[in-house]
Amino acid sequence: MTYPAGPPSPQPYPGRSTVCVRHPDRATGLTCTRCERPACPECLREASVGYQCVDCVHEAARTTSRGTTVAGAGPGGRPVVVPTLIVVNLAIFAWTAVQAQSIASNADSALFDAWALAPGLVAAGEWWRLVTAGFLHIGPLHIAFNMLALWVLGRDMETVLGRGRFLAVYLISLLGGSAAVMLFYAPLQSVAGASGAVFGLMGGLAVVLRRMKAPVGQVIGLIVVNVVISVVIPGISLIGHLGGLVVGAAATAALVYVPVRNRNTMQAGALGGITALLLVIIAITAAMI
């Protein structure tokens, strides 16, 4: 009976016995198959071809490029931004409930008055409302739905995009929803919620799946259901949702479809361009109110 041959044994160093390059007090007749320097058995590691010294093994590990996702992120990153955003939203909701002395009527809090998005107030100079409104929620069901959606959608998106890119898409989607509200809502009509950013993640996930040539049917179905809910249930900002959806999809496409060469620079330029366009739209709209 024959057995498969194992890896070749370390080969003796040509010529006379010499000393290990890492242990001068140890004589050896073995060499590294990569750099051909003498090395003792303790300093050799099994490689795909022969045995290599620990220095060559470390150098190979350092110079070997890691695989990246379609957006250029390193593989296997643990979600950090998503749970952080959830904690921030929950903390702000809790503070509004304390201020209003009611969980169900937390919108009566002073923080809502200062942070909620109203186009007329933005036009009057309160620009922070474009972002802060995305961290306010009206009642427990509102925040529960949005945070659940953020958790389900955000974990995969953060893994694919990477932390910095994911946060950029989230905030740009939020700004996209605010820009839509500025365009189509009455000056004193008030809006709040992270739904614009969450819809942006839905659109972004559809783009990512398309880029990876994976089925997008379930995500498209989820988007359609949520749009229908936004139409049927009164008090939900359909315009803000659609604005976030479109901008989130565009921002994600700018990340996953750019060429690999100079990818980081091109991604930053594309996201910066989308943000600048939104700010121009908001500024023009504010000037017309």
In this structure, the strands spanning 44-46 and 51-53 are antiparallel
The CB density around residue 90, as the number of other CB atoms within 10 Å, is: 14
133 Cβ contact partners less than 8 Å away, ≥ 6 residues apart: 115, 116, 117, 178, 191, 192, 193
C-alpha torsion sign, points 223, 228, 234, 237:
positive
What integer pLDDT is reported at residue 16 of this predicted model?
A: 47
Runs of H (alpha helix) within 67-139:
81-100, 110-115, 119-123, 129-132
**Are 191 and 121 a contacting pair, CB within 8 Å?**
no
Task: Tell me the angle at which helices 217-232 and 238-256 cross, rounded to the nearest 10 degrees.
Answer: 160
The CB density around residue 123, as the number of other CB atoms within 10 Å, is: 18
What integer pLDDT is reported at residue 195 of this predicted model?
A: 95
Eight-state DSSP code of residue 2: -
pLDDT tens for the 289 residues of the chain, in order: 444 444 445 544 444 458 888 888 888 888 888 888 888 888 888 877 778 888 888 877 665 545 688 888 887 678 999 999 999 999 999 999 999 999 999 999 999 999 999 999 999 999 999 999 999 999 999 999 999 999 999 999 999 999 999 999 999 999 999 999 999 999 999 999 999 999 999 999 999 999 999 999 988 998 999 889 888 887 788 899 999 999 999 999 999 999 988 999 999 999 999 999 999 999 999 999 8
Local structure of 102: helix, strand or coil: coil
**Are 248 and 203 a contacting pair, CB within 8 Å?**
yes
User: Which residues does the annotation mark as catalytic?
Assistant: 195, 241
What integer pLDDT is reported at residue 66 of this predicted model?
A: 58
Residue boundaries of the structural domains of the chain: 18-63, 81-288
CATH code of the domain occupying 81-288 = 1.20.1540.10
What integer pLDDT is reported at residue 124 of this predicted model?
A: 97
Amino acid type, 12: P
